[in-house]
Structure 1
Amino acid sequence: MKPPPFTYHAPRDLPAALRTLAEAGGKVLAGGQSLIPMLNMRLAAPEHLVDINRVAGLDGIEATPAGVTVGALARHADVERAEVHPLLTRALKLVAHPVIRNRGTVVGSLVHADPAAELPAVLAVLGGSVRVARWDGRVVVREVPAEEFFVGPMESAVGPGELAVSAFFPALGEGAGIAFEEVARRHGDYALAGVCAVVTPDGARVACIGVGARPVVVDLDMDLYQNPDEGSGGGSARALDGDGASDAGGRRRAAAALVQDATAPEGDIHASAAYRRHLVGVLAERALRNAAREGAAARGA
């Protein structure tokens, strides 16, 4: 299949790219791993295509104690190899296949806003943000927090004439453990459901994919750190408030139930809504257990 006709633009700097978007509109081409198939299948038919691959300064990967800033042209594979953020690195290994990661971009995946994709969940669970630029006689930049960036399925807060220029992934807190668990029909396929978890001594936060119109984020203020390897047969760990579950396994099951209750999956030809809801509960319990183990090991507990 071939894409519909369009006018091609290849600006050389950011102001030129933003002026083109402001005047002509159209779609932005960075990695193209989502856009090109959509064009070929005639699911998208923009009159203008703005290729930003020649724009200098958008491929940076900058790590600081506060977190990691990833530029709009930083490829999945480059960020994965840089190993600048443990959770981001782990999630990138789950994205499609190496040939896709060699070309696809981290920021492009965020803007694409697929509710079954891994990277939106990472940004959401970390409470990150995306910098969006537009042209108003000069370059104007705004910062959009993750909770406002994902508007709906395949829809982000990047408006007409705007360009997402970078994404910020906050650093993990001291003693944090992480996990990303998902189930897909085949390796490299989009997940039927997935759970990204960050567990700290103060509680846990998870983001779920494939079970809502955007990443589903759930904050859990229970102690999942104490005795993370303890089974479900009792123990001396602190009780979950109001639940009576005094063992680590009981706390994880209670947490998984809270995560399930926050999701609203839909069925399709790949899985029913009931199966996805069951799956997210299983994955949430597994992710919380593995993240708690990792965090306890890092602390020498």
Structure 2
Amino acid sequence: MKAAPFAYHRPDTVADAVSLLGEYGDDAKILAGGQSLVPMLAMRLTHFENLIDISRIEELRNIELRNGAHSSVRIGAGTPHALVGMDDEVAESVPLLTLATPHIGHFQIRTRGTLGGAIAHADPAAEYAAVALALDAEIEATSGRGTRRIPAAEFFTGLWETALASDEILTAVSFPVWSGRCGFAVQEFARRHGDFAIAGATVAVALDEDDTVTRCGIGMLGMGSTPERGTAAEAAVLGRPVADITAEELGRLAVSTLHDIPADLQGSAAYRSRVCATMVARAWSEATTAARHTTEALHA
């Protein structure tokens, strides 16, 4: 099939893009890498009278380490997955993004798709969305009224729905930098490499010198209409020695509070729940092992 006719706009600046979005309102849609939107248009699952292509806006393609009271890495929304995955600053400061990138589709998708596009699309099986939740990232939204910052926990509101207003563009995402004895891991299960994950998990953990958990973030994908966070499991491990925590129990706890787990041709809700619990357990074991080895490397 082919997409229904639409008007194509290619602004050179964020200000121009915001102006066009404000002019056309609900009749317009932002086009970034197009890896999700173009297939939907081609299959006529959706239609917009105007497409605003922001892929050539250079100010949206950047990666910047920001130091201050709380260090963060700010990534422009137009930065391709491939650049995020290859960037040394990202690998050092936000390793969870680097680990998540190879799980995103195939290399063609990672070359064209963008970080901002993936998060704004709000697919419940999106890796970067789960990373944003686990790390308490902040999403920058820009409109004619200015720029506001939305916590990741408040950004995903439903299936392919976000807290963005109709006249707002996602312009950047800021990821906190975790320091100290930290470990990170991504685990997911798909029928074939490049397919959407049936279920998956992103885990970040910080330990003190006695191997006690001081911080934990767990993001889950494919488990609802939005990416999900394992808040019950996070709370259960804080202040406890890693040796006292059973990975399998943690995995079961992470999925125990989820509601409306999807069932489809890939498997039942019960099956998806078991798969996700296993992914959380594996990611937890990998992340805590990495955190422990951080000290061993420092003291070697």
Contact 1:207–1:215, Cα closer than 8 Å, also in 2: yes
SS in 1 for 2:60: coil
Cα deviation for residue 111 of structure 1 reads 0.2
Q: Is 1:32 equivalent to 2:34 in the alignment? A: yes
Asked if 2 retains the 8 angstrom alpha-carbon contact of 1:205 and 1:220, the reply is no
Partner of 1:214: 226
Is the Cα–Cα contact under 8 Å of residues 216 and 262 in structure 1 kept in the other structure? no
3-state DSSP of counterpart to 1:108: helix
* Residues 134, 161 of structure 1: 8 Å contact kept: yes
SS in 1 for 2:22: helix
Contact 1:203 1:220 in 2 (8 A): no
Equivalent in the alignment of 2:211: none
Query: Displacement of 1:277 after TM fit?
Result: 0.7
1:173 CA displacement: 3.1
Deviation at 1:172, TM superposition (A): 1.8
Q: 1:121 aligns to what? A: 130
Per the alignment, residue 194 of structure 1 pairs with: 200
Unaligned runs of 5+ in 1: 229-236, 238-246
Alpha-carbon contact 1:225-1:296 (below 8 Å) kept: no
Other-structure match for 1:150: 156
Q: Does 1:98 align with 2:102?
A: no
State the structure with more CA Rg: 1
TM-score (norm 2): 0.88
CA RMSD of aligned residues (A): 1.7
User: 2:170 matched to 1:164?
Assistant: yes
* Aligned partner of residue 263 in structure 1, secondary structure: coil
Given candidates 249, 261, 270, the residue that maps to 2:256 is 261
Amino acid aligned to 1:188: G
Runs of 4+ residues deviating >3 angstroms: 223-226
In the alignment, the residues of structure 1 paired with residue 267 and residue 31 of structure 2 have an alpha-carbon distance, to the nearest angstrom, of 32
Identical-residue share of aligned pairs (%): 37
Matches within 5 A, 1:265-280: 265-280=261-276
Distance 1:127 1:188 in 2: 26
Deviation at 1:221, TM superposition (A): 4.0
- Contact 1:18/1:134 (8 A) holds in 2: yes
TM-score norm. by structure 1 comes to 0.88
Residue 7 of structure 1 is matched in structure 2 by 7
How many residues are treated as equivalent by the alignment?
278
Specify the alignment match of 1:295 in structure 2. Answer: 291
